Structure 1
Amino acid sequence: MSRLNLVYKWQSYTGDMDMLGLREQFVLECAKIPRIKSKLRVFAFTITFSTQVNYLTGNLNKIKDATKEIRESTKLVEIMQIILMMGNILNAGTGGGSARGFKLDCLEKLDDTYATGKDITLLQFLCKVIAEQKPELLDFDKDLAHLQVAYKHKGQIRSVRQVKYAIVGGFEEVQQEFNASANDGDVSARFRKGLKSFLDSAGAQLQHLTSFFDEVDQYADSLALYFTEDPNRYPWEQGLLYFSMSRS
């Protein structure tokens, strides 16, 4: 039997309090608290609020930093231009021989496509060309310092929306319980005082967090748009996968 069910069972007790032990008396007192289940959830949320906010903020910063580095790396742009040039040379004489751009998923195919003779992949050939003609581009990964960190945590980053919704939903439940407990009388007086203090401080934090989330959400979509792709088809995690592969 859960602790909450035990509380509900003791609500019907009408016997002598002196016949009960201290633990039983404590449970019986808890049973007198209105909406105790809601209050316990709210109490737990207030305890973990800062941890959840820090977790979400940290992951949002990873998204923003990695996206900024990809978009601002001039060396990566040069490498992409070389890839485009290689594609146009290979497709010379065909409809794809004068392309002005390519799809992001082409990066994934570089290591699966073999050059003439099938003894070297296009990725290996690309590295050979860069090493011989543009060796200064070989350390382009230094421009993407946060990319590997973000990729290692891509599973966590994928859940930022769920974490954000959980934080917003939890805060709304705190607000609802604060309003509902106004009619509880003295039994919830100290509880309401604590919630009022939490709501005042956490409300400002939540407003800043949701604004930052919206900013980074749009920033993440800009990665696909930067490469003329549809953000719905290439969400941030997918673009991250391609560039993490090219970095390695």
Structure 2
Amino acid sequence: MNEILYLTNTFNQGTASDDAAVGFKLDSFSKLSDTFSPNSNMILMHHLCKDLASKAPALLDFHKDLESLESASEIRLKSLVDEMQAINKGFNKLEQEFIASESDGPVSEVFCKTLKEFIPIADTELEKLLRPYLLSAKNVDALLVYFGEDPSLCLYEQVTATLLSFIRSFKKAHEENIKQEELEKNEKAAKEVEMEKKDSNS
């Protein structure tokens, strides 16, 4: 991210956006694949990969640290929220049924006894279920804040989708750079052979 910031500030020098930025939003990741560098047919993503290859080649494999991102991007937090609300609503209704059955007399005696035994068990299970859910929600908020986003405005799904798209574009640009370098290397070798032939003929 530091390298991206440095790169974009470098390319913005002498433009209307000349003021050096101190940070950027996550949606700026997509611009790296959409923006061509000045006086070049290369997009900024190609430049980023080239810079990292020469300055910090170990960072070219940063995506290996995010192997769980693919599966994490398939999580739909809204669905989890809806499910948790439905479970809570069901449990609250169960408690109301128990309270109502207590005043029903002998007709609901068995039902009341069953609920009385079941509710504490259900409550314990619900707490077990809620704990990882609340922890996940807290971690998601922390993740959004880490990336400079407002948890009340930015969706978790947006973050994972943006990061996943960035990784795919990054890997593609790096592969294209390698192919281009190989092509240039082969062309240079072919020219050297041609020059040697000309020299030997003369």
When normalised by structure 1's length, the TM-score is 0.60
Counterpart for residue 31 of structure 2: 109
Counterpart for residue 83 of structure 1: 4
Task: Assess if the C-alpha contact under 8 Å between 1:158 and 1:237 holds in 2.
Answer: no
2:138 pairs with 1:218: yes
- Within the candidate set 46, 64, 67, 1:142 is matched to 64
Counterpart for residue 91 of structure 2: 171
- Within the candidate set 114, 121, 128, 2:50 is matched to 128
Write the mapping of 1:59-70 to structure 2, written as runs, cut at 5 A. none
CA distance in 2: counterparts of 1:124 and 1:194, whole angstroms: 67
Task: Assess if the C-alpha contact under 8 Å between 2:144 and 2:150 holds in 1.
Answer: yes
2:12 partner amino acid = N
| Unpaired stretches in structure 2, ≥5 consecutive residues | 169-202
CA distance in 1: counterparts of 2:91 and 2:33, whole angstroms: 48
Superposed displacement of residue 210, structure 1: 3.3
CA distance in 1: counterparts of 2:27 and 2:43, whole angstroms: 16
Superposed displacement of residue 241, structure 1: 1.6
> Relative to 1, partners in 2 of residues 1:105 and 1:124: Cα closer, same or farther, differing over 3 Å?
same
Task: Assess if the C-alpha contact under 8 Å between 1:89 and 1:97 holds in 2.
Answer: no
| Unpaired stretches in structure 1, ≥5 consecutive residues | 1-79
How many residues align? The count is 167
SS at match of 2:24: coil
- Measured on the aligned residues, the alpha-carbon RMSD in Å equals 2.1
2:125 pairs with 1:205: yes
- Within the candidate set 164, 168, 188, 1:244 is matched to 164
Counterpart for residue 230 of structure 1: 150
2:101 pairs with 1:181: yes
- Post-superposition Cα deviations, 1:198-218, rounded to whole Å, max 9, x if no partner, equal 211121222343344333323
When normalised by structure 2's length, the TM-score is 0.73
Aligned-pair identity in percent equals 38
